Amino acid sequence: MTIDWQKEVDARKDALLEDLQNLLRINSERDDSKVTSDAPFGPGPVAGLKHMLAYGERDGFVVKNVDNYAGHIEYGEGDETLGIFGHMDVVPAGDGWDTDPYEPVIKDGKIFARGSSDDKGPSMAAYYALRIIKDLGVPLSKKVRFVVGSDEESGWGDMDYYFKHEEKPDFGFSPDAEFPIINGEKGNVTIRLTFKGGNGVDYQLISFKSGLRENMVPGTATAIVTAASADDAASLTASFETFIKEEQKISGHAELSDQTVTFHVVGKGAHGASPQSGINAATFLATFLNNYSFAEGAYSFINTLAEFVHEDFYGEKLGTAFEDEKMGKLTMNAGIVNFDPANPENSLVTLNFRYPKGTSAEELQEKVQKTVGENVTATQGGRNQEPHYVPADDPLVETLLQVYEDHTGQKGHEQIIGGGTYGRLLKRGVAYGAMFPGYTDTMHQANEFMALDDLFRATAIYADAIYRLAK
């Protein structure tokens, strides 16, 4: 059977775009303060999940909602199941947007909105690919299950719950990365640094706040400091203004009120898997404050950030640097940076490591603890995802690369990334698109976008891939 997949996509462009815009209007950020039994990650993620599943019901698929944690849209019959994994939750919009992040805007051939490239746009491309298969009545020998998640950007509690109630597909892909393919993903673990209470005499750190998520480079940072005198506070403010002028990578300002100075720093947000692509506002602010005499917990907090974390994208200062020939270098991102002397349990720095095979979360924790010393406590926080790899000669990888080559005329090749996708949920699972080589990465950043041509081209590739894998 010969099918012009791009022609089929072109016939559905308007419908695809309308459905995507409606989905992007949903603020599906996780909000733990509003968790209920019906909204396990807050109202936003479940709204996105239900909206996506409603498309499946509208279009005549078999649909199942698994207690508002996750769900699936299913087509076909067979002893084997091809899984496609997308997610409706998004990271917080943050600051710096030129438009409303939850009112999609189409400009210069791109659609701007939070989630446009991670992962609502690619998920919609994969969904419409499956819809084309169904519309054409293409005979399949395998079942195809499009699994929709709602907690990919946080703890993956959606998939933990889903797979307690549903069988895992036999193989599959996640449209949540880039082409030609991602068949390897580094390990992913967060080491949390906690600090004792206490402050200084000459200068006191009243608060320090930066970061929205562990897997985002903090684009802004704010700190409040009191000095021993109004003159010292004025001198501190003047020094900060000089610091900002000299540092070409950041901007910022200080507000002086008697003996209190409030500092604001603006860097550049980025995906935590590529911390070198961002400018961590928190660590820059810490390098400035490290020139002044703080004490106890405040000193440990500032000094640790300035001496061991600032621009240490590969763990060299922390003593955790590691590289594997196939998977590349370990990376580290300081995502959440907070200091609260009144509540020491809230004073922490999260170090999110993406590590290759050959090291382990336990080894990283031990090395970090040795480096930061006894006044700081290093513990593992949350899930540890070990490195994942599907060999290049696996039929899944070979088929997906062939589809990519046939549609683009470009040679396919394996890739390994620091980002973690749902592809790693399956032993034979990979990430596949929807971003093409040379794309501008705006995931987890302000003014996130997806090029419409890429959206439609990816849809055709997904349709052909589903057909070849399940026919």
Residue 86 and residue 309: Cα distance in Å, rounded? 33
Q: Is 11 helix (H, G, I), strand (E, B) or coil?
A: coil
301-327: average pLDDT: 97
Residue 386 and residue 393: Cα distance in Å, rounded? 21
pLDDT at residue number 399: 98
Domain coordinates of the chain in residue numbers? 5-186+387-470, 188-384
Locate 205 and state its tokens.
Answer: 């750190």
> Are 5-186+387-470 and 188-384 equal in CATH topology?
no
Residues 6+ apart with CB under 8 A from 267: 217, 218, 219, 220, 221, 249, 250, 278, 279, 280, 281, 284
392-403 pLDDT per residue, tens: 999 999 999 999
The DSSP bridge pattern shows strands 105-107 and 331-339 to be: unpaired
Locate 96 and state its tokens.
Answer: 């710096």
What CATH topology corresponds to 5-186+387-470? Answer: Aminopeptidase (3.40.630)
Given CA atoms 90, 92, 95, 101 in this order, what sign does their dihedral have? positive
Burial level of 7, CB count in 10 A (0-12/13-18/19+)? exposed
3-state secondary structure 128-175: HHHHHHHHHCCCCCCEEEEEEECCCCCCCHHHHHHHHHCCCCCEEEEC
User: Is 106 in contact with 48 (CB distance < 8 Å)?
Assistant: no
Predicted confidence (pLDDT) at residue 202 exceeds the cutoff of 90:
no
The DSSP bridge pattern shows strands 70-75 and 62-66 to be: antiparallel
pLDDT at residue number 14: 98
Predicted confidence (pLDDT) at residue 200 exceeds the cutoff of 80:
no
233-281 pLDDT per residue, tens: 999 999 999 999 999 999 999 999 999 999 999 999 999 999 999 999 9
Residues 6+ apart with CB under 8 A from 164: none
Q: Pick from 21, 213, 196: which is nearest to 104 by CA?
A: 21
The Cβ-side half-sphere exposure at 73, using a 13 Å CA radius, reads 29
User: Is 218 in contact with 212 (CB distance < 8 Å)?
Assistant: yes
Out of 69-78, 201-210, 417-426, give the one with best mean pLDDT.
69-78
Catalytic residue among 152, 158, 340, 464: 152
Predicted confidence (pLDDT) at residue 198 exceeds the cutoff of 80:
no
Query: Residue 421's pLDDT band (boundaries 50, 70, 90)?
Result: very high
Query: Residue 419's pLDDT band (boundaries 50, 70, 90)?
Result: confident
User: DSSP code of 276?
Assistant: G
139-183 pLDDT per residue, tens: 999 999 999 999 999 989 999 999 999 999 999 999 999 999 999
416-436: average pLDDT: 95
Q: Is 371 helix (H, G, I), strand (E, B) or coil?
A: helix
Task: For residue 334, give the H/E element and its range.
Answer: strand 331-339
Q: Is 398 a catalytic residue?
A: no
DSSP 391-437: -TTSHHHHHHHHHHHHHH-S-----EESS--GGGGSTTEEE--EEPT
Locate 1 and state its tokens.
Answer: 């059977």
Q: Tell me the pLDDT of the chain averaged across its residues.
A: 96
Rounded percentage of the chain residues whose pLDDT exceeds 90 = 94
Catalytic residue among 8, 19, 29, 89: 89
Predicted confidence (pLDDT) at residue 15 exceeds the cutoff of 80:
yes
Q: Pick from 247, 341, 251: which is nearest to 296 by CA?
A: 341
pLDDT at residue number 155: 87
78-112 pLDDT per residue, tens: 999 999 999 999 999 999 999 999 999 999 999 99
Q: Is 89 a catalytic residue?
A: yes
pTM: 0.86
Q: Which CATH class is domain 188-384?
A: alpha beta
3-state DSSP helix/strand/coil percent for the chain, to nearest 5? 35, 30, 40
pLDDT at residue number 194: 95
pLDDT at residue number 379: 96
334-381 pLDDT per residue, tens: 999 999 988 888 899 999 999 999 999 999 999 999 999 999 999 998
